[in-house]
Amino acid sequence: MDAATTLQSDVDQIWTPEEPLPARPILRRLVGCCGDRWDEARLLRKVSVVYNPRLRTTLGRAILNARRVELNPHLLRDNPAELVPTLAHELAHLVVHRRHGTRVAPHGPQFRRLMRRLGLSSRATHALDVERVRRRRKSKYLYLHRCSDCGYSFVARRARRNCYCKACGPEMTWDVFRLPDTAAGRKLLEKLHR
């Protein structure tokens, strides 16, 4: 029986993807499985594993000096089969950091060797659909700028203070009107922009 088969059988006894995301005690046991196979049980006992709901598009991250792994509960709830590979991936970063410091590439040969010992992929990215969790950065307002001298106007998604009207020169001032970026706001903007 190879190491990968042994890891999978141990993991199956602790947690399966059909169950809800595991709580801290089960995460600790999963960490222990990796630590045993890498001969790093002592280091990994000091690692904290937490769910970070602020993570959006990444499955997890390792905070090296703090010895902490943060997991994305949103993506992992939708893709529970990614939990063990993600946890192992982030733990491998901590082990490589402890053994080699910052002298090696994050996904270099040392990292890949650890992942192979578990029978897991050493890929650095995932191909999951993240559109649902990606933060939309849409402007909430539209800004109508009108030259106080000649009446020239334009619309922008933010207030522009560092430009001036070409006809009136740098001594002019803008009258700026902030309107919500909604259907009613755009309708009012059309009336003001005329």
- Out of 84, 118, 152, a domain closes at 118
The DSSP code for 140 is S
pLDDT value for 1: 54
What's the pLDDT score for residue 137?
61
Residues 109 and 165 in one domain: no
15 with 52, same domain: the answer is yes
Q: Which residues of 59-92 are buried (b: 16+ CB within 10 A; e: fewer)?
A: bbbbeeeeebbbbbebbbeebbebbbbbbbbbbb
Q: Give the pLDDT score at 115.
A: 96
- Domain of 161 in residue numbering reads as 141-193
**Residue 34 and residue 79 in one domain:** yes
Residues 15 and 66 in one domain: yes
- pLDDT per residue as tens digits for the range 108-135: 999 999 999 999 999 999 988 887 777 6
Task: Supply the CATH number for residue 22's domain.
Answer: 3.30.2010.10
Q: What is the pLDDT of residue 164?
A: 87
For residues 52 and 96, membership in a common domain is answered with: yes
pLDDT at 27: 96
pLDDT value at residue 136: 63
Same structural domain, 66 and 13: yes
Could you tell me if 152 and 88 lie in one domain?
A: no
Which residue among the candidates 90, 131, 171, 190 is catalytic per the annotation? 90
Residue 125 lies in a domain: no
Q: Considering only CA atoms, give the Rg of the chain.
A: 26
Residues 93 and 166 in one domain: no
Q: Does 105 lie in the same domain as 166?
A: no
Q: Give how many domains the chain has, as a whole number.
A: 2
Question: Has residue 147 been placed in a domain?
Answer: yes
In 3D space, the residue among 113, 102, 106, 126 whose CA is nearest the CA of residue 40 turns out to be: 113
Q: List per-block mean pLDDT (blocks of 10 residues) for the chain, which spans 194 residues.
A: 73 93 95 94 94 94 96 95 96 96 93 95 89 71 91 88 87 90 86 77
Q: Mark whether 85 and 179 lie in a shared domain.
A: no
103/34 same-domain check: yes
In a domain, 163, yes or no: yes
- Over residues 34-55, the pLDDT tens digits come to 999 999 999 999 999 999 999 9
40 part of the active site: no
90 plus 41 within the same structural domain: yes
pTM: 0.69
Whether 48 is covered by a domain: the verdict is: yes
The encoded tokens of residue 114 equal 């650890």
Q: Which residues of 25-57 are buried (b: 16+ CB within 10 A; e: fewer)?
A: eebbebbebbbebbebeebbeebebebbeebee
pLDDT computed for residue 135 by the predictor? 65
Residue 108: helix, strand or coil by DSSP?
Answer: coil
Provide the pLDDT for residue 122. 92
